[in-house]
């Protein structure tokens, strides 16, 4: 295992000798465990980067791609990036806001989606103004404190490391504020949600705010964006008669207009466009209704936009 210190010095020297001669590595923080860890590494792997095979590895150098990955607790990632120690990182939007670190979102990554909510024993009938003077257990005191301050509510925040849902039963708090995905954990604790979500969270790529854009970020962002498009879009091909071509193109506008090619068949054209994956079945029905035929959908293995 390599120590963080020795790799730091290696990174400062950059990648020598290659076509990029002396290019500095971009240093990327990745969650080492928890809800975001597997998906973050999976996405980076899909984007062509090396990822660790041993969960005990703390640092991994992907020299060919000019990236060095540091596996850290998701809660600490905004701190490292905010301090400028690491260039970019993947963490949850909720953790980034909670940290108050000087970082900014570069790209939402579409996984680790959750809502941040207040909850209390079923039937309490609470709302946000009635939190005044109550005890709120949370692992996100920065986020909750900021939310209440904006609304002029003063409550006592009980900071806990995790499993906050149990705090009410144990008499430590009146209310909890926590991450909710399915709501199962809250229900099992006999709690119910109240108030609007404080936040809709997901995994995000972050960088330091008010600092120069790190070298290499553009390439990383383009690759990750390519993964998002490959995941969220499909390629649709179909044949359509000239007289309904405009209507068909309106159904499948693509990103920059569909590709239209002549067909051997007189009065018909072949059309190709990207379509949101979740809309593909409805779009095929609509095209069929217009008279389009030979409608094919294919997955995108990789792309750059």
Ligand X SMILES: Nc1ncnc2c1ncn2[C@@H]1O[C@H](COP(=O)(O)OP(=O)(O)OP(=O)(O)O)[C@@H](O)[C@H]1O
Residues that bind ligand PRP (CB under 6 A): 35, 162-163, 165, 178-185
Q: Which is nearer to ligand X, 75 or 117 (CB)?
A: 75
Residue 151 neighbours by CB under 8 Å, 6+ apart: 128, 129
Q: Which residues, 3 to 42, sit near ligand X by CB under 6 A?
A: 33-36
Q: Which does 36 bind (CB under 5 to 8 A by kind): ligand X, ligand PRP, none?
A: ligand X
Between 37 and 269, whose beta carbon lies closer to ligand X? 37
Of 15-23, 111-119, 240-248, 276-284, the window that binds ligand X (rule: CB under 6 A) is: 111-119
| Contact yes or no for 293/238 (Cβ under 8 A) | yes
Question: Residue 4 CB, nearest distance to ligand X (Å)?
Answer: 20
| In the complex, minimum distance from the CB of residue 128 to ligand PRP, in angstroms, rounded to a whole number | 20
CA angle 107, 108, 114 (to 5 degrees): 160
Largest CA distance in the chain: 78
Nearer to ligand PRP by Cβ, of 68 and 178: the residue is 178
* Smallest distance, ligand X to C-beta of residue 34, A: 2
What DSSP assignment string belongs to 3-17?
-HHHHHHHHHH-B-S
Residue nearest to ligand PRP as judged by C-beta position: 162
CB of 145 to ligand X, least distance (A): 17
Residues 138-161 as b/e (b if ≥16 CB within 10 A, e otherwise) read bbbbbbbbebbeeeebebebbebe
Does 75 interact with ligand X (rule: CB under 6 A)?
Answer: yes
How far is CA 228 from its chain centroid?
A: 10
155 contacts: CB under 8 Å, gap ≥ 6: 131, 132, 133, 134, 135, 136, 148, 175
Q: Which two tokens stand for residue 5?
A: 């210190």
Taking alpha carbons only, the member of 278, 229, 235 closest to residue 259 is 235
Binding to ligand X (CB under 6 A): which residues in 198-237? 201
Binding segment for ligand X among 54-62, 90-98, 239-247, 280-288 (CB under 6 A)?
90-98
Q: Residue 94: which of ligand PRP, ligand X, none does it interact with, CB under 5 to 8 A by kind?
A: ligand X
Which helix H or strand E contains 108, and what residues bound it?
strand 103-108
Tell me which of ligand X, ligand PRP, none is bound by residue 135, counting a contact when its beta carbon lies within the kind-specific cut-off of 5 to 8 angstroms.
Answer: none
Among 66, 82, 89, 112, binds ligand X (CB under 6 A): 112
Query: Out of ligand PRP, ligand X, none, which partner does residue 75 contact, by CB within 5 to 8 A per kind?
Result: ligand X
Nearer Cβ to ligand X (181/196): 181
Asked if 246 and 291 count as a contact pair (C-beta separation under 8 A), the reply is: no
Of 238, 222, 236, whose CA–CA distance to 303 is shortest?
222
Quote the tokens at residue 21: 């001669």
User: Does the footprint of ligand X cover residue 181 (CB under 6 A)?
Assistant: yes
- Shortest spacing between CB 48 and ligand X, in angstroms: 24
User: Residue numbers of the site for ligand X (CB under 6 A)?
Assistant: 33-36, 74-75, 92, 94-95, 112-114, 162, 179, 181, 201
């Amino acid at each position: 295992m390599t120590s963080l210190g020795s790799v730091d010095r290696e990174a400062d020297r950059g990648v020598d000798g290659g076509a990029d001669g002396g290019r500095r590595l971009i240093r990327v923080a990745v969650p080492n465990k928890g809800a975001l860890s597997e998906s973050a590494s999976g996405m980076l792997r899909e984007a062509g980067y090396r990822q660790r095979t041993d969960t005990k590895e703390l640092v991994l150098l992907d020299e060919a791609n000019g990236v060095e990955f540091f596996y850290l607790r998701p809660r600490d990632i905004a701190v490292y990036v905010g301090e400028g120690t690491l260039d970019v990182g993947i963490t949850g939007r909720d953790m980034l806001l909670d940290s108050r670190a000087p970082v900014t979102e570069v790209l939402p990554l579409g996984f680790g989606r959750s809502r941040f909510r207040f909850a209390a024993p079923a039937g309490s009938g609470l709302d946000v103004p009635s939190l005044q003077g109550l005890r709120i257990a949370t692992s996100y005191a920065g986020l909750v404190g900021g939310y209440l301050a904006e609304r002029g509510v003063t409550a006592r925040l009980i900071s806990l490391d995790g499993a906050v849902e149990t705090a009410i039963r144990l008499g430590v708090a009146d209310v909890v504020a926590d991450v909710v995905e399915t709501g199962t954990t809250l229900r099992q604790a006999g709690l119910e949600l109240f108030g609007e979500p404080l936040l809709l969270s997901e995994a995000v790529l972050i960088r330091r705010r008010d600092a120069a854009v790190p070298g290499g970020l553009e390439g990383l962002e383009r690759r990750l964006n390519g993964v998002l498009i490959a995941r969220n879009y499909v390629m649709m091909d179909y044949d359509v008669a000239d007289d309904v071509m405009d209507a068909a193109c309106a159904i499948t506008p693509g990103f920059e207009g569909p590709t239209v090619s002549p067909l051997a068949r007189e009065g018909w054209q072949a059309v190709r466009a990207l379509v949101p994956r979740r809309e593909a079945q409805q779009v095929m029905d609509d095209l069929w209704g217009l008279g389009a035929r030979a409608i094919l959908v294919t997955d995108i293995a990789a792309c750059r936009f």
